[in-house]
Chain A
Amino acid sequence: MRQSSRLYAIVLCALTIVLLAQCKHDPPITPGSNGTTDTLYTSTPYTFSQTIGGIYSYRKVKVPSDNPETYEGIRLGRMLFYDSTLSINRQVSCGSCHKQEYSFGDNQRLSQNVHGPTKRNASTLVNLGINSIFFWDGRQATIETAVDDALTHEQSPDMSALFAYLDTTPVYKYLFGKAFGKPVDNAPLVTEDKIVKAIAQFIRTLRAEDSRYDKYNRGEASALNAGELNGMNIFFDQQKGDCVHCHMDAPYMTLANVNVPMRNNALDTVANVSQFADIGYGQVTGDISDYGKFKIPALRNVEVSAPYMHDGRFTTLEQVVDHYGSYDSLRKSPTVDPLMERLVYPNIPDLTAQQKSDLVAFLKTLTDTAFLHNPDFSNPFH
């Protein structure tokens, strides 16, 4: 063969290889497998239906591509969630403020972290897979970053001591290996990233979709009684309860947005927005038009998640309904929400005592009792 044709052949082959390599798709990654057949480092994918509450919902559960759910990851996350070793004083776990019986919220008015009382009531953790706004001030956008934020600020563990503990505790060692695979090139088995991802996987499984209101939406007309149905109508009527403007995600009452998810719900009167005791979302954006705004909270399991509001000021649902149910109780401020119908139309009649009690009865139909007692969610150390 002549030298030149040989070179052509070589160049052609090289080009073909380069081109084919570009076309090649990455093989699907099996979490934790790392290409090994070693069963100590393989995990089992966990799948759940993408929509919460079935056909009535339109938000889909978001699972990040770099943190697929696995049974081992969820089991690990559940242990880490309840393990107070993940805090600087070894006394505070996620579960300290997020208690299952309160829909993973806190019955304390102001939740306590390792530094003492915080200025806010811990939010519930329910159906968060469809959520894209986390914390009362809306400062995080994914479960993973929210977990990392809480771990860092509320629990502040000594990371190297924590890694050493997890690395030498057999069950953790086993689960980190199963969930996230065999570390390559002497990478550590336990990392902050893996801790956060495992906890996020567990939180994503905390789904409540079987309340009486869900049953009603799925066609069981008898699931709600006459008073509760009246309460439901008050909830959705903008001239009565006017709850729907913010809590419009009706089918499963998890989150609500119109096009502005952060709102000021007329809790305090201030002449100047800098006078708000807690500026909320304003602290995140630095924009004075966001002072006094907070995330619209989930109403799912609201019956058991007292106290209410970012600062836990209301201890009962009756107090909450009193607040929204009359013009006089609403407090105006420069950032008060434009969708508060009673402020636009002051002549809307106050809710009557009967309407208020029906509205409260309706709110209680949003409770998923099985969720509150689901053994898969409970403290594995008890």
Chain B
Amino acid sequence: MAVFIGNFITHSVFMRKYYVLLFMGIALFLASCRKDPATLSLTVQPKWGSDNLQLNTTYSSTGGYMNFSSFGMYLSHIKLVKADNSEVEVDSMALINYANNAIKIDLKAVEGSYKGIKFGVGLDSAQNAISPAQVDDQSAYKPDVLYWAQGLDHLFIAMEGHSGSTSSLGNIFFYHIGTNTMYRTTEVDQPFTVAAGSSTSLTLDADISKVFSGANGVNVLTQPGTHSTDSVAIAVKVADNFTQIFTLQ
């Protein structure tokens, strides 16, 4: 075999040239495969103040102590915003089903320089109308998460847990925010660039403590729950406050 190959390689000058050409061709082909496209990701990190939000951990809010047993939300129509306010959508919908780990979303990497991002909290009316029956189990619209039966479509935000005037937490709370009128959009500014050959990773912090503090804060003890169809004012407050909790890094 070795003799055979040796024979072949040294066969003639003409063949050697041919061989070099072949190698160049292969090299070129490989090089073209290796050109890195730009990548862009968004890591959503729920926070409580400066800490990463931990489920089943007791926090102090303006209204009282609280401890989340679950937290989830939908983000939709994530767009990159340029200095001239032109926008490009890079993801239609993402489910944030929080289990103490930040959720990383891969976005379409459209090259350019941007001043910030814009997105909806919840689902737009067309998305909200998508029934889990129409999608497969792997879909983010899947039935086991953030879905209401009884014609109310999807929950946009769900927070459930225990509360109390002392840290012993004798009470409970639940905020189920949904229905089309609760859909909100928000813009978060922090300049960044998406360039060919580089990976851009953005982190979107969502400070849940801001929902329960400030002049328009929800009081977890006196306003302990809403399904959005009752205690509507509380639901509106939660939906409005969610537009104020995001920061981009």
Contact = CB atoms under 8 A, between A and B. Distances in A.
A131 to B, nearest CB: 11
Interface string B28-51: 000000000000000000000000
A185 interface: no
A332 B170 contact: yes
A338 B160 contact: yes
Interface in A301-342: 332, 334-341
Contacts of A251: 149
Nearest to A7: B8
A226 to B, nearest CB: 21
Interface residues of B, number: 39
B9 to A, nearest CB: 9
A59 interface: yes
B146 A259 contact: yes
B143 A4 contact: no
B8 A3 contact: yes
Interface in A204-263: 236, 238-239, 244, 248-251, 257-261
A328 to B, nearest CB: 16
B113 interface: no
Interface residues of A, number: 39
A289 B55 contact: yes
A289 B155 CA distance: 24
Nearest to B22: A8
Given A259-B158, A289-B69, A343 B172 contact: yes
Interface stretch (B79-87, B131-139, B191-199, B210-218): B131-139
B144 A257 contact: yes
Contacts of A334: 162, 169
30 contacts: A3-B4, A3-B11, A58-B131, A58-B132, A58-B133, A59-B132, A60-B136, A238-B227, A239-B230, A244-B149, A250-B150, A257-B143, A257-B144, A257-B145, A258-B155, A258-B158, A258-B176, A259-B145, A260-B69, A260-B70, A261-B144, A289-B56, A289-B69, A334-B162, A335-B69, A336-B162, A338-B69, A338-B161, A338-B172, A345-B225
Interface of A: 3-4, 7, 51, 55, 57-60, 62, 132, 236, 238-239, 244, 248-251, 257-261, 287-289, 332, 334-341, 343-345
